[in-house]
Amino acid sequence: MTIMIPLLPFYAEHFGASATQVGLLISTYAFCQLIAGPFLGSWSDRMGRRKPLLIVSQLGTFVGFLILAFAPSLWVVFLSRVIDGLTAGNLSLAQAYIADVTEPKDRARSFGFLGIAFGVGFLVGPAITGFLSQYGYTYPILAAAALSATSVICTATLLPKVETHIGGDATGPAGKRLGLLDWGRYAEYFSRPGLGKLLWQFFFFAFPFSLFIGGFALFASQRYQWNGHPVGAKEVAYIFAYVGFLGIILQGGFMGRLVKRFGERTLVWTGYLSAGVGYSLVAWSRTIPQLLGASTVNSYGMGVLRPSITALITQKAGRKEQGVVLGLTQSITSISSVIAPAIAGAMIDRHMLTGWALLTAGFAFAGLILSFSGSND
């Protein structure tokens, strides 16, 4: 995924795509994931999280990357993202597996390890793109396909299948997931005092993150210069790698200590504040050093928000509802990833660069206000 984030906008432009079409391309993957995700989750509860659903999901990603690497036209690029999206249940299945095998008191730390995985990915993936893209756009995509094939092998050989669950509950703490059309049940969880507020807080993390990721590459290519030319896939990739490096330091070295000392709720409001300030600084930055400074501020917010809010959500829900609420967070992420990149692409297509960054900051500050309004109890 992180190999593709800095590359895909430039790869699509190579086939003549506008910024609006690039946004829609990113949204297409998320839309397909939104449709398929609940079905994959439901099947995994009956068939096991490792076999065959997680492997099938990873195989779909592998096939999608192969098609993308040899795409002859823009519509085939879209097709490759559709295939990947329809099988992309990797994250939701991984989250449910974590919920299955950990006690509630250990979940913040466990989701923190998931954050470390994201941090490592945001360092290694963009670094691969930055290095290989100077030889051609196809090479990073083939590297992503190779890593996808490796993930299939690792899942098949290293990950134990969950047969029994902590506490002896036959359904496990991940429980049963809601279907895509069970909107009444989804509304029920959003209307619960405490839990509903936490779900909305997760939205105010996920939406600005998707808005930023969906538009940053093309924003950067129009805003910044490097050695006398607009930044491209190589420079954008190395910027993402820098942010990933900061994420590793935070998640690997400090997250557990921060949770123990301050608690998740404090990390949530400070995370929103850091993210909002960081996005605002991006809006007014004009040079690469200024951008790196803004990214440094923002990295704390993005690093602590996901694991902290996710841990609070899983603690608030019942043991048999873990799959439902984790599915809800994944649906929130998918909905954000459908809508936000399309908005970002349309704004950047109209050269609303500062407005795009300030809109992103506004959502983060809205999350900050929500985190202070009333109680989560």
Q: Strand 225-226 and strand 229-230: pairing? A: antiparallel
Contact 244, 303 (CB under 8 A): no
Q: What is the pLDDT of residues 244-301, one digit of tens each?
A: 888 888 766 677 777 778 888 888 999 999 999 999 999 999 999 999 999 999 988 8
The residue type of 142 is: L
Q: Kindly state whether residue 168 falls inside one of the protein's structural domains.
A: no
Decide which of 24 and 176 is more confident.
24
Asked whether residue 64 carries a pLDDT value surpassing 90, the answer given is: yes
22: its two tokens = 């690039």
The 10s digit of each residue's pLDDT in 346-355 is 999 999 999 9
pLDDT for 38 equals 66
16-49: per-residue pLDDT in tens?
999 999 999 999 998 888 787 667 666 666 655 5
Q: Which residues contact 237 (CB under 8 A, 6 or more apart)?
A: 6, 7, 126, 127, 128, 129, 130, 133
The Cα-based distances of 209 to 191, 196, 298, 339, 362 in angstroms read: 24, 20, 10, 12, 12
Looking at the domain assignment, is residue 85 inside a domain?
A: yes
Which segment of 117-126, 193-202, 227-236 scores lowest on mean pLDDT? 117-126
* Per-residue model confidence (pLDDT) at position 260: 79
| Structural domains in the chain (count) | 1
E strands, 215-282, are: 225-226, 229-230
Higher pLDDT, 143 or 48: 143
State how far the alpha carbon of 190 is from the alpha carbons of 30, 187, 272, 324, in Å.
Answer: 22, 5, 20, 12
pLDDT at 256: 72
Residue 244 token pair: 């990933």
Report the CATH number at residue 289. Answer: 1.20.1250.20
Who's near 300: CB < 8 A, 6+ residues apart? Answer: 250, 270, 271, 274
Please answer whether residues 244 and 126 qualify as being in contact, where contact means their C-beta atoms are separated by less than 8 angstroms.
yes
Higher pLDDT pick, 154 / 100: 154
pLDDT tier for residue 172 given thresholds of 50, 70 and 90 = very low
Nearest CA among 115, 107, 98, 106 for reference residue 249: 115
Identify the pLDDT of residue 40. Answer: 67
Determine the average pLDDT of the residues in 157-171: 56
Length reported for the chain: 377
170 is a domain residue: no
**What is the arithmetic mean of pLDDT over 47-70?**
81
Q: In this predicted structure, what is the pLDDT of residue 102?
A: 74
Mean pLDDT, rounded, for 57-80: 94
Does 60 map to a domain?
Answer: yes
Q: Please check whether residue 246 is in contact with residue 255, taking contact to mean a CB–CB distance below 8 angstroms.
A: no
Strand partners, 225: 230
DSSP symbols for 343-366: HHHHHHHTT-HHHHHHHHHHHHHH
Closest to 67 (Cα-Cα) out of 132, 17, 141 = 141
Could you give phi then psi for residue 225, rounded to 5 degrees?
-120, 150
Banded model confidence at residue 5, pLDDT cuts 50, 70, 90: very high
In whole angstroms, what separates CA 19 from the centre of its chain? 21
Question: According to the model, what pLDDT value does residue 195 have?
Answer: 85
- 3-class DSSP state of 178: coil
**Distance separating alpha carbons of residues 208 and 341, to the nearest angstrom:** 10
pLDDT in the model for residue 169: 45
Predicted pLDDT at 91? 66
> Which of 44-53, 61-70, 111-120, 301-310 shows the lowest mean pLDDT across its residues?
44-53
Residue-level pLDDT at 327: 73
Amino acid residing at 313:
I
DSSP assignment string, 300-343: HHHHHHHHHHHHHHHHHS-GGGHHHHHHHHHHHHHHHHHHHHHH
**Residue 278, H or E segment:** helix 264-284
Given this model, what pLDDT does residue 325 score? 80
For residue 32, give its domain range: 4-158+183-372
The pLDDT score that the predictor gives to residue 106 is 73
Residue 178 lies in a domain: no
Give 179's DSSP letter: P
60 Ramachandran zone, left/alpha/beta (phi>0; psi -120 to 50)? alpha
- Strands (DSSP E) contained in 32-144 are none
Instruction: Kindly state whether residue 29 falls inside one of the protein's structural domains.
Output: yes
Does 307 reside within a domain? yes
- pTM of this structure: 0.84
- Residue 206 predicted with pLDDT over 70: yes
Asked, for residue 17, whether it belongs to a domain, the answer is: yes
